[in-house]
Amino acid sequence: MDVARVLHANGGAKEITYAKNSSAQKQVLSLTKPFVEEALHDYFGGTHIPDKMVIADLGCSSGPNALIPASEIIDTVHGQCQKLGRRSPEFMVFLNDLPGNDFNDIFTSLQPDFFSKRREDEQCRVAGVPGSFYGRLFLSRSLHFVHSSSSLHWLSQIPSGLDAKNGPMQNKGNIYITKTSTKTVMNTYKQQFKTDFNLFLKSRAEEMVSGGRMLLTFMGRMFDDPTTKEGFNHHMEMIAQSLMNMVSEGIIPEEKVDCFNLPCYVACTEEVKDIVENEGSFVMNRLESMQVDVVDCEGDNVLLSRGERVARMVRAMLESILGYHFGMELMDDLFTRYVDVVNSYLQTANYKFTVFVLSLTRQ
């Protein structure tokens, strides 16, 4: 499976779009705003302020959240420059995501929602950069500030060795790591994350100026054991359960589930620390975790059951890759079953997931 081609959040105008079902990701942006401001204040605490500032938002997706980071970064820099009695730099903002992302939605919203809020003395240009951030995207030593939210838990590919084309199926009945997964499956996922995150850091190190800042937020886990039933893990088990219900009714062949593994990994803090320290290009200023309740929402979704809210959020993120493998015609059935499973689970539990906030400085 070509993950870079297949994986993308739902775009367009239908109800199950990322734009209409991303309030949890908006919560993450709100909670991490102080960390963005801290990184920028530290960066501009010195005497040098560049005449031109280049910002990259990696994994920007689409919808109303896509321009929030850029707006907040520009506003923070402008405020800091005013305090220092300096003129604000010109801004170049690069919005990056995989080629299947709905970039048209982003650029349609630029006028008037984005540029009308900019002050006359804030010169700002915005460009889209389609492509995987697991590799080079920008010119050498050109970026001053890199931001990424709710993206780095996605892998560049299905972990090597778990793709059915590369050998026997090793994670039968599962689509991610569970208690029934073998050590081989766990280690394969861990190694793929290590390879990808290391490449991400190396690529950004080549693209960033010395002293540049990077603020990353992505899903993680609180415990060393990757099979612990935390938010993300448990809900991937519930999707697998829904798929296996369809198998039992003859709707999906069992081997179709057995050969599917999500290209995603939620790491623990020690794994993240080890990769950053061993790669060596960045100083780690912060690595913190927070809990986000994905049942909290806004807009029309408040009228839905708690299970429907969660299912819409998950479907907006995963439908492209699940539909590619199992068939888009089965997605309504799958997520109807998933709603029932989630509603049952939420009768006795809350659905919170762990988010890591990682602040780095380019050495």
Average pLDDT, stretch 77-87?
85
Average pLDDT, stretch 226-248?
89
What pLDDT band is residue 221 in, cutting at 50, 70 and 90? very high
This prediction has a pTM of: 0.92
Q: Which DSSP helix (H) or strand (E) runs through 99? A: none
Query: Can you give the CATH number for the domain in which 124 is found?
Result: 3.40.50.150
What pLDDT band is residue 165 in, cutting at 50, 70 and 90? low
For 32-41, 113-122, 277-286, 316-325, which range has the lowest pLDDT when averaged over its residues? 113-122
Structurally, the chain folds into a number of domains equal to 1
> Which pair of tokens denotes residue 262?
């999500």
Q: How many CB atoms lie within 10 A of CB 270?
A: 10
pLDDT at 305: 79
Residue 129: domain span: 3-362
Three-state SS at 360: strand
What pLDDT band is residue 275 in, cutting at 50, 70 and 90? very high
β-sheet bridge partners, residue 283: 361
Measured over the CA atoms of residue 343, residue 344, residue 350 and residue 356, the dihedral's sign is negative
- Judge whether 352 and 230 are in contact, CB under 8 Å: no
Peptide bond into 64 cis (omega under 30): no
Chain-centre distance for alpha carbon 11: 16
Q: Which single residue is written with the structure tokens 């995987």?
A: 132
- Judge whether 95 and 127 are in contact, CB under 8 Å: yes
Average pLDDT, stretch 102-112?
78
- Judge whether 25 and 150 are in contact, CB under 8 Å: yes
For 292-321, what is each residue's pLDDT tens digit?
877 655 545 556 778 888 888 889 989 999
pLDDT at 17: 82
Nearest to 151 by CA among 198, 98, 105: 98
Nearest to 314 by CA among 296, 330, 335, 336: 335
For 79-88, 134-143, 271-280, 313-322, which range has the lowest pLDDT when averaged over its residues? 79-88
Given a cut of 70, whether residue 77 has pLDDT beyond it is yes
What whole-number distance in Å separates Cα of residue 87 and Cα of residue 166?
Answer: 56
Given a cut of 70, whether residue 112 has pLDDT beyond it is no
Measured over the CA atoms of residue 343, residue 349, residue 350 and residue 356, the dihedral's sign is negative
